Amino acid sequence: MNSDYSRPSGGGPSPAIIVFGALIVSALVFFLFTRKHLTPKTQPTVVAVPAATVTSTPEVPVQPAPAPVAPKPVAPTPKPALAAALGFARPMDLATQVARSLASGDIAQVAKMVGGDDPTQEAAVTAVLDKILKGMGYKAGAEEKVQLLGQVGEATRLTVPLLKPGETAPLALQLDVERDVKMGWKITKFRLPKELEGALAAMPAMVGKTDPTTGQPVASAAGSAGKPASSLFIVEQHPDALAFASQFVEAMLHQDVAGARKFVDDAKVSAQKLAGMCIVFEEGDYALKASKPMVITVASPNESWVIAQVQSEKLQQATEFGMEMQRSAEDQPWKIVGLNLSDLLGSFAKNAGKMGVPYTPIVNNPHGGESLALYFEYDKASLHPRAQKQLSIVADLLKAKASRKLRITGRTDSLGTDGYNMQLSASRAKNVKEQLAALGVPADQVITEGMGKADPTGKTEKKADGTDDPEGRSRNRRAEIFLDF
């Protein structure tokens, strides 16, 4: 049986071919009309080429860079003044900078550290310092040698050392500095030793004056109106009260009793007191305090009081002592006529127990005056190591005054029999004499005696409740040394 679908009728194209062709036509139309929408819109990559390698015009024209916009003119910042730039926080900072500037020859910088309203001040300072450094051949000492002397009224006094080739002893350029709201600290006065007086001739239009507080000659630069601009320089014919006291204390701190005696009135300040101070300073390893080491409390033309403040790292304490100074006239040197050591000796005695046997080196002699005291351990006549160091100071004094006599009195506490104590006290005095002989003191300069338990120092050997007081007894086990100077 024949089917209707067994073969195509009429011989026309196959339906499959027609469908296939329609698909091709549709694809072609889609491709032609949608291609532009499918292509990504990317920018061409531009590669920077060094100008030297460009040989042809690039396809994509390069747009010229916009012309630079000129910046707005900025007013130049004025340089801060030297004083404001330095801003000294401490007086020592200023003095150290002075030493540093003088060492480098930057005199103009030092001149700008001077406080005052008159513009001639800087010129005056420059002229004088230039004369000192270049004309007279001095140069600044090491920065670490700059010293803070102390307080004088509103001013703080410092020293800058000046050295000259061929001379061993430096001169001291003293600076009085005061607080300033802009600079922190400023120089208000230069104090020159008499050796530098000739440098003032370099200052133009000199005007002679006298300092109202010290009476010393003053040199001033004349201002534009012909009047003194300021009292910048003072020539010290003799050290003023503060400098004089400082030199004395330095000698004592170095245990130079012979040198220290040059500063005192021998009739009013005993050699025992000087030796006792040296012993305290050596034992406690004292030094002047870094801040305000000395302060003038009384200042008049011919009389002055100075308080020296010292501290001991060994004893972990700070204390002070006073110096009373006088001079016969304003053109005469000072002399120390009194020493108030009560605070110094009291603090030292209170803390001396930290080093062993408690003691104070100066005692009031029952028969008047003051004596040095060397202390012994219980029931012993041998010298304590501390006493041996004390005697080296005493020996130096005796060798410097060979015509003087030394009296040594041995003493004991109240324990033991009278006969035993007399023998023990004599042995103590004898051992002191032998140690002095070993240090070079002639035997005929020394007189010894034993006093047993007589003449106690006044320190009781009993407490308030009647029990034994070991510290009180220890202060009576001693040998007193009276320097008959």
Same domain, 90 and 213: yes
CATH number at residue 482: 3.30.1330.60
Q: Which of 355, 379, 407 is the last residue of a domain?
A: 355
- Number of domain units in the chain: 3
Query: Is 128 inside any structural domain?
Result: yes
Query: Is 131 inside any structural domain?
Result: yes
Domain that holds residue 475: 357-485
CB 372 within 8 A of CB 394: yes
Q: Which of 180, 202, 237 is the last residue of a domain?
A: 237
Query: Is 23 inside any structural domain?
Result: no
Query: Is 42 inside any structural domain?
Result: no
Query: Is 300 inside any structural domain?
Result: yes
Q: Using one digit for the tens of pLDDT, what is the confidence trace for 442-456?
A: 888 898 988 888 777
Same domain, 100 and 223: yes
CATH number at residue 250: 3.10.450.50
Same domain, 333 and 284: yes
Mark out the alpha helices in 341-417 (DSSP H runs): 342-351, 385-400
Same domain, 324 and 370: no
Looking at residue 389, its pLDDT comes to: 75
User: Is 113 buried (19+), middle (13-18) or exposed (0-12) by CB count in 10 A?
Assistant: buried
Looking at residue 4, its pLDDT comes to: 44
Same domain, 116 and 223: yes
Same domain, 172 and 246: no
Please identify every stretch of the chain with a pLDDT value under 50, giving residue numbers as ranges: 1-10, 37-62, 77-84, 206-208, 210, 217, 221-230
Same domain, 392 and 476: yes
Same domain, 90 and 233: yes
Query: Is 64 inside any structural domain?
Result: no
pTM beyond 0.85: the answer is no
Q: Which of 355, 382, 397 is the last residue of a domain?
A: 355
Q: Using one digit for the tens of pLDDT, what is the confidence trace for 226-265?
A: 444 447 899 988 888 999 999 999 999 988 888 898 999 9
Looking at residue 375, its pLDDT comes to: 85
Number of helices (H) and strands (E), helices first, in the chain?
12, 18
Same domain, 191 and 269: no
Query: Is 34 inside any structural domain?
Result: no
Same domain, 375 and 351: no
Give residues with Cβ within 8 angstroms of 311, minimum separation 6: 286, 287, 288, 289, 317, 318, 319
Same domain, 230 and 107: yes
Query: Is 125 inside any structural domain?
Result: yes
Same domain, 302 and 178: no
